[in-house]
Amino acid sequence: MSCEIYSFGEPLAGFYAKDQRRLSQIGDFHMTWGGDTSNVVVASARLGRSSGYITRIGNDSFGRGLMELWESNGVDTTNVIIDEESPTGMYFVSFNGERHEFDYRRKDAAARKFGPADAEKISLEGVKIFHLSGISQAISRECLEASFVLIKRARALGAKISYDLNYRGKLWSSELARAVYLKTITDFADIVSFNEEEMEILSLQGSPVEAVIEVMNMGPGIVAFRRGSQGAILGTNEGIFEGKAKKVKVSDTVGAGDAFTASLLCCNLENTGTQETLEFALRAAALTCTATGSTEGQPTRKQVMDFSGGNPVTQ
């Protein structure tokens, strides 16, 4: 199958606490699906664009559940490698309304074993945008090396490279992350997303607007600065645009940034103007926050277009 958007990274089975106590106190969870780059392709598919995922998963119940998630949303799984020896990764999370507490189980997970040899074999037929994140690179040395193989292959096919820094301190040091970020941004990236923490890691000075300009000066033509409940800033060759977050009743915020990123990619494929793209992405992010879990609230295109900013619709 030919796809416009391909994404590479780590999918995870998630277990959400059903109340707001700390994980050490929880006895009741419900299951969901996560992984930032997986969230992006699911969101893109729901927004009407063809997308495919690149990863390794275990031949276990969690791997089969992820396959069902992708296939039920129209995400192509041709490039999902089934690992007979390693398990699918997982995480546990609680949310108290303001902050999340995460506990990961990914040490020997299949996704971490995706290496350069795998990257050389997979299909990128039809690719227009290749997306990855800092997490895709941080989970293992093999994945870091594979990321650059995939980036170079996608670039050779004329694709744009989308990069979400998505720093995780438990995976690598800020010094190593900074070096990889700068290499990826300056040498390859066309679309970049980052936040305040990553602004500090990159040693960017000044205001968020100035940070966006500084990253654009490194080469990317589209740069987004996500500000959570404060909204976002989006820079393109049309200028720098600022948008406020949309008002919703928040159930959970995990996955909102991924829905925002997916919206940028979809709008780019449709040559949507910068202001309209930012508005669309902020709506999609807000709607994602109305359900618990990173994919449950991801909206369809119609839901995004019908959403005014205070009254989410259902479909």
pLDDT digits (tens, 9 = 90+) for 186-217: 999 999 999 999 999 999 999 999 999 999 99
**Averaged over 132-158, what is the pLDDT?**
98
| Closest among 167, 155, 166 to 130, alpha carbons compared | 155
Looking at the chain, the whole-number percentage of residues with pLDDT higher than 90 is 80
The span from the CA of 178 to the CA of 76, in Å, is 32
Q: How far apart are CA 17 and CA 26, in angstroms?
A: 7
Residue 167 CB coordination number (10 Å) = 22
Band of pLDDT at residue 313, cut at 50, 70 and 90: very low
Residue where the block lists tokens 């590479």: 8
Q: What is the pLDDT of residue 314?
A: 39
At 51 the pLDDT is 98
Two structure tokens written together for 307: 């959403």
CA atoms within 13 A on the CB side of 96: 10
- 222, 268 in Cβ contact below 8 A? yes
For residue 20, is pLDDT > 80?
no
Flag whether pLDDT at 64 surpasses 70.
yes
Average pLDDT score over residue span 65-76: 97
- What number is the average pLDDT over the span 258-267? 98
Residue range 285-305: average pLDDT?
Answer: 92
Handedness of CA 22, 19, 63, 159 (dihedral sign): negative
pLDDT of residue 96: 63
Band of residue 312 on the pLDDT scale cut at 50, 70, 90:
very low
What is the overall mean pLDDT for the chain? 92
Q: Is the pLDDT of residue 27 over 70?
A: no
